[in-house]
Amino acid sequence: MSWLARHLTLWSRTLGPLRPLSAPALCARYRHESWNVARELASVGRARRVVTARLGDWGMTDLADTAELLVSELVTNALRHTRGPVRLNLRVRGFHLRCEVEDADSAGPARRIADAEAEGGRGIELVDMLAEHWGSTDTGTGKAMWFELPIPGPGHTDALAAHPPARPAL
Residue-wise pLDDT tens digits, 95-118: 999 999 999 888 776 666 656 665
Decide if pLDDT at 4 tops 90. Answer: no
The CATH topology of domain 26-162 is Heat Shock Protein 90 (3.30.565)
Whole-number Cα distances in Å, 111 to 35, 64, 169: 27, 25, 15
> Do 97 and 119 meet the contact criterion of CB atoms below 8 Å apart?
no
Decide if pLDDT at 13 tops 60. Answer: no
Mean predicted confidence (pLDDT) in 147-166: 61
Which residue, among 98, 91, 85, 93, has the nearest Cα to 143 in the 3D structure? 85
Lowest mean pLDDT segment, chosen from 17-21, 49-53, 73-77, 136-140: 17-21
Please list, in sequence order, all residues whose beta carbon lies within 8 angstroms of the beta carbon of residue 15, skipping any fewer than 6 positions away: none
Mean predicted confidence (pLDDT) in 79-100: 92
| Residues paired with residue 100 on neighbouring β-strands, in sequence order | 89, 146
Lowest mean pLDDT segment, chosen from 12-21, 40-49, 159-168: 159-168
Please list, in sequence order, all residues whose beta carbon lies within 8 angstroms of the beta carbon of residue 92, skipping any fewer than 6 positions away: 25, 28, 29, 30, 31, 32, 58, 60, 98, 151
Whole-number Cα distances in Å, 78 to 67, 114, 123, 152: 16, 19, 12, 29
The pLDDT tens digits for 131-151 are: 999 999 998 889 999 999 999
Q: CA dihedral in degrees (38, 47, 74, 34; nearest 10)? A: -80
Q: Where are the domains of the chain?
A: 26-162
CA distance 48 to 69: 8
